[in-house]
Structures are given as C-alpha cells and as structure tokens.
C-alpha cells in the first residue's frame, strides 16, 4: 500500500497587523525599515500559542475522521509553551483522543516541521494506524527587527498513513549541515541572526539545491515535471533562484504568503504544503524543501482521492477570516514585548492546582460534558444528577463531547471592570444546539464586531490564565463567532 497524506488542515489567527504600523513606530530609529512596510503579518491573540494553534489546525485536518483510529500525535515548534511537559500530549487531550497512542515533540530547528513530517511518514510505512502531525509557531521577535516584519503566527496539520492517500510520498532526502544562519541560546528570548547575503549565497543557494538534487536523483523524477515548489523563505527571489538553478519550472514556485501572513517559522514549509494541496489536482507533483542546519526535501504526487476529500477551511479559509489590526501597541502587549502596567485587578495569583487540573481534565481540556442515558438531556459540566427538572435521574450521565458542537448566544456582556489582556472582557451564556448551556468567555471579538443574541458560536481551545510566577499556563475552551467577517479592511 502507498504511504502519504490522507488529509490536511491549517490555521492562521484572525488579526493581521499592518506592517506600515510597525514601520511608523520605528522609522525614527531606522528609516530603512520602510522597505518592509508593505502588507500584513498574522498576529496571534493574547490567548493563543503554538499549542492552541496546533489544535485548530488539527481540527481542520481531522474533520469527521474517526479519531479513535489514530496511533500517534506529533507536534513541531521552536516556540513550545512548555520546555518540560509534552506539548503534543496537550494537543491530544484537546482533541479528545484515546490515551493509548504515542505523542512526540520535534524542536530546535527551523526544519523541525519538515523533519517531523518525514519521521511520521517513515513510521507510517510500518502499516500501523494513521498519525496526526502538527506544526505551529508563535515567534518572539525584537522590536524594530526585520524578523518582526517578516514573521507571522500560524499552524498546519496532516493526517499521514497508508491507504487512500490524497498525496503519495514519492521520496524524501535530508542534508544535515550545521550551518548557523541564526540561533537562540538557552535562556534567550530572541533569535540572533547573521548577515543576510552570506545566508543566501552559502546557505540557501548551496545546501538546498544539494538536497533537491539528491532527492530527484534518488526518485528519478524530471525537475521539469514539478508542479509546485514550496520553500519557506521571506527573502525575495531566493525560491525562484533555487528553482532556476535546479531546472524547476518558473510557474512551480509557490506563494510564500509573505504579503498576507508572514513566515511562520518551523511551521511554514508545512503551511505552504497545506496551502498547495488546497489548489492541487491529480497528477500534480509537489516538492517541499526546508532550511535550518541543513535541508529536508519531500516529494509528493497528488492522487485521485483529492477529489473526494471533504471540504475544510484550510489556510485559504483562515486567510480570508481576517481583521486588519492597526494598533502596534496591542501586538507588543500580546507578545509580552513590553512591561505593561496592567492594574491591581491583574495581580491575582494565577497558581493552578495541578491535582485539581488532573481530576477535571476531561472537562477543562477535552470539554466532555454529560448526557443522561434516561432522558437524553445534555449538560455541561457533567454531574451525578440530570439537570432536567422532569428527570433528575442519578448516575445516568454518559460522556458527551461539546468541543465540536455549535452554540448560539443567549446573553453577553462587555466588561471593562474585570481584568482582561484585551479589554473589554466579553463573556456570556451560550446554548448548544443539541442541548446544554455554558457561561463562557468569548474570544476573537473584533473591536467593531456586532455581537447579538442568537449569533452562531463555535468553541476554540485557548489559554485561560497565565501563571507568570511559575511559568505555567492553563487552557480552557472559549466561544467565538462562527462566521468572522472581514471588518477593518
């Protein structure tokens, strides 16, 4: 049986910081930044990180797939929220997966995304159950640095295995070269980058072609037959230069999404692959290359199964779901780049009782409620007694997942007295269409959003609280509008 990609998904945060606003803030210091002021970059909300974005990409990827059939969850990032807690395990919990699976984190290189996918495909060759692979990034960048302009936040996910693949793996190859174009040492918050021309001439233009050449020779594929070439680099004309050097068609060079997203770090080769699959057709050959202490190359051929894949939002759908953010100070605050006076109400100790967290993880991380086996009433949270006043049965509650169920707003409040990193704090009562109610925080509410009773809402996995004293963050589910508009353009 052929091994390859069974499904794909993606996620890009709603807010898009206008690069012109970054330039306005720093041109007094470095007028040369004006050349980077075009377009916009994806900007994660204050309650988003690489884990929450990976969860959203995975949900987009899995759709209605039988999640009990998965054998493993892999996650790649260089911005994991936890250095000593398995982040892929948090993703698995949020997706309500069985405990009997493997979870692995891939990190420490900008090619961790492509390396992780290559490993997942290699493991899948063994004939086991499908593997979910995710890659996500929320990079920290110094103010007024080129990376602040060219970076973006986002995630991609793939279901890989044997069987009815939408893109079969033709082959892969890795060149491992300890070429240091940038690095981030232990205890450092920001990347230290080296000179751009050196990186281009000695790195991109030598190491990547070597990896591509080896792959094409190994597979016997004519470079002229490549339909799409995905290479994640913000620098202009580099991908086109590599394509020309390797004999790839000019038309094969994929959009690097720099105009409307930015480079999502180790996730970006995967984001570009997910985006390419959206627009592919049977017979297309997609070449993916990455760069970071060497280069990974993977070659896929799209199959007829792509036609029968169920619709998904994908990278394109999330790019269309946008709000043009013009407040640069909000970006600094959300990425913890300034020492902001947050007021007395923000001083509450956010310590998480790990015993309580574990005992309630089905509710808080999996969003499992209950459904009465006697009368069919759904409720959140799950309890020993049915909330239906006409039933009241005891010990009849069965696990009932709420995370993927649509709700409607019953009531809402915009509160400026309660502390919120993004005031006002929106919250309210939501009623799930299949039954069950929840007093929920709302998120991704654009400043000029028209919230109203009856509005459709979906649940998203987000950061509930940051415990900055101990370096812990607690996750929970929040409600967000189903159809976010393009307001703010």
- Boundary of a domain, candidates 276, 301, 334: 334
Residue 428 contacts residue 440 (beta carbons within 8 Å): yes
Write out the H or E segment, with its range, that includes residue 184. none
What is the pLDDT at residue 54? 98
Average pLDDT on 450-466 reads: 95
Average pLDDT on 404-411 reads: 97
What is the pLDDT at residue 486? 36
Clarify whether residues 173 and 66 are in a common domain: yes
Instruction: Label residue 379 by pLDDT band (50, 70, 90).
Output: very high
Does residue 162 fall inside a structural domain?
A: yes
Instruction: Label residue 1 by pLDDT band (50, 70, 90).
Output: confident
- Boundary of a domain, candidates 334, 361, 388: 334
Does residue 288 fall inside a structural domain?
A: yes
Structure tokens at 90: 């948090």
Domain at 308, CATH number: 3.40.47.10
Percent of the chain with pLDDT over 90: 92
What's the CA gap between 471 and 81, in Å, rounded? 9
Clarify whether residues 48 and 186 are in a common domain: yes
| In the predicted structure, residue 239 carries a pLDDT above the cut 50 | yes
Residue 42 contacts residue 264 (beta carbons within 8 Å): yes
At 439, give phi and psi (nearest 5°): -85, 110
Average pLDDT on 164-179 reads: 97
Instruction: Label residue 488 by pLDDT band (50, 70, 90).
Output: very low
What is the pLDDT at residue 489? 36
Predicted confidence (pLDDT) per residue in 6-28, tens digit? 999 999 999 999 999 999 999 99
Instruction: Label residue 485 by pLDDT band (50, 70, 90).
Output: very low
Clarify whether residues 323 and 411 are in a common domain: no
Domain at 441, CATH number: 2.40.50
* Helices and strands in the chain, H and E counts: 13, 22
What's the CA gap between 71 and 39, in Å, rounded? 41
Q: How many domains does the chain have?
A: 2
Write out the H or E segment, with its range, that includes residue 334. helix 328-334
What is the pLDDT at residue 97? 97
Instruction: Label residue 260 by pLDDT band (50, 70, 90).
Output: very high
Does residue 114 fall inside a structural domain?
A: yes
Instruction: Label residue 458 by pLDDT band (50, 70, 90).
Output: very high
Does residue 444 fall inside a structural domain?
A: yes
Clarify whether residues 302 and 424 are in a common domain: no
Does residue 388 fall inside a structural domain?
A: no
| Sequence-separated contacts (24+) of 326-331 with Cβ below 8 Å | 326/18, 326/21, 326/488, 327/21, 328/17, 328/21, 328/22, 328/24, 328/25, 330/422, 331/17, 331/22, 331/43
Q: Is 35 exposed, middle or buried (0-12, 13-18, 19+ CB in 10 A)?
A: exposed
How far, in Å, are 58, 221, 455 from residue 434 at the CA level?
Answer: 24, 52, 16
Clarify whether residues 117 and 257 are in a common domain: yes
Clarify whether residues 452 and 327 are in a common domain: no
Q: Are strands 192-193 and 407-415 parallel, antiparallel or unpaired?
A: unpaired
Does residue 343 fall inside a structural domain?
A: no
What is the pLDDT at residue 248? 98
Predicted confidence (pLDDT) per residue in 312-346, tens digit? 999 999 999 999 999 999 999 999 888 888 888 88
What is the pLDDT at residue 409? 97
Clarify whether residues 128 and 265 are in a common domain: yes
Does residue 443 fall inside a structural domain?
A: yes
Clarify whether residues 321 and 421 are in a common domain: no
Percent of the chain with pLDDT over 70: 99
Predicted confidence (pLDDT) per residue in 411-434, tens digit? 999 999 999 999 999 999 999 999
- Boundary of a domain, candidates 277, 310, 334: 334
What is the pLDDT at residue 487? 35
Mean pLDDT score across all residues of the chain:
95
Does residue 60 fall inside a structural domain?
A: yes
- Structural domain boundaries enclosing 466: 405-489
Average pLDDT on 189-216 reads: 96
What's the CA gap between 218 and 206, in Å, rounded? 18
Clarify whether residues 313 and 412 are in a common domain: no
Clarify whether residues 415 and 320 are in a common domain: no
Predicted confidence (pLDDT) per residue in 48-78, tens digit? 999 999 999 999 999 999 999 999 999 999 9
């Amino acid at each position: 049986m052929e091994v390859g990609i069974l499904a794909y998904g993606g996620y890009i945060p709603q807010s898009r910081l206008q690069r012109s606003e970054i330039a306005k803030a720093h041109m007094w210091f470095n007028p040369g930044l004006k050349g980077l002021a075009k377009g916009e970059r994806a900007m994660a909300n204050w309650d988003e990180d690489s884990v929450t974005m990976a969860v959203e990409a995975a949900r987009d990827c899995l759709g209605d797939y039988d999640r009990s059939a998965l054998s493993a969850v892999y996650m790649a990032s260089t911005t994991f929220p936890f250095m000593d807690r398995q982040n892929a395990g948090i993703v698995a919990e949020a997706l309500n997966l069985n405990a009997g699976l493997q979870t692995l984190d891939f990190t420490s290189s900008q090619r961790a995304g492509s390396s992780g996918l290559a490993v997942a495909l290699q493991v899948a060759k063994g004939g086991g159950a499908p593997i979910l692979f995710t890659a996500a990034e929320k990079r920290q960048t110094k103010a007024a640095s080129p990376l602040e302009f060219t970076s973006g936040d986002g995630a991609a996910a793939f279901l890989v295995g044997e069987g009815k693949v939408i893109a079969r793996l033709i082959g892969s190859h890795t060149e491992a070269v300890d070429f240091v174009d940038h690095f981030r040492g232990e205890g450092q918050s920001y990347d230290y980058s080296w000179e751009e021309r050196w990186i281009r001439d000695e790195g991109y233009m030598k190491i990547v072609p070597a990896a591509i050449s080896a792959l094409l020779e190994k597979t016997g594929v004519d470079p002229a037959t490549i339909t799409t070439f995905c290479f994640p680099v913000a620098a202009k004309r580099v991908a086109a230069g590599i394509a020309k050097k390797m004999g790839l068609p000019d038309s094969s060079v994929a959009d690097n999404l720099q105009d409307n997203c930015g480079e999502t770090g180790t996730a970006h080769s995967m984001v570009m692959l997910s985006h390419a699959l959206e627009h592919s057709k049977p017979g297309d050959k997609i070449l993916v290359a990455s760069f970071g202490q060497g280069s990974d190359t993977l070659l896929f051929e799209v199959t007829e199964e792509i036609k029968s894949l169920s619709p998904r939002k994908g990278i394109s759908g999330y790019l269309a779901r946008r709000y043009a953010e013009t407040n640069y100070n909000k970006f600094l605050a959300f990425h913890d780049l300034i020492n902001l006076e947050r007021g007395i109400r923000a001083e509450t100790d956010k310590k998480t009782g790990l015993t309580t967290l574990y005992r309630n993880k089905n509710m808080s991380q999996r969003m499992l409620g209950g459904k009465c086996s006697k009368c069919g009433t759904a409720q959140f949270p799950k309890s020993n007694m049915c909330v239906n006043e006409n039933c009241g049965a005891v010990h009849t509650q069965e696990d009932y997942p709420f995370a993927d169920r649509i709700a409607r707003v019953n009531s809402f409040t915009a509160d400026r007295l309660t502390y919120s990193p993004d005031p006002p704090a929106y919250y309210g009562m939501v009623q799930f269409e299949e039954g069950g109610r929840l007093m929920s925080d709302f998120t991704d509410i654009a400043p000029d959003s028209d919230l109203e009773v009856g509005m459709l809402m979906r649940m998203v996995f987000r950061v509930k609280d940051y415990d900055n004293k101990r370096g812990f963050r607690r996750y929970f589910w929040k409600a967000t509008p189903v159809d976010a508009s393009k307001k703010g353009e």
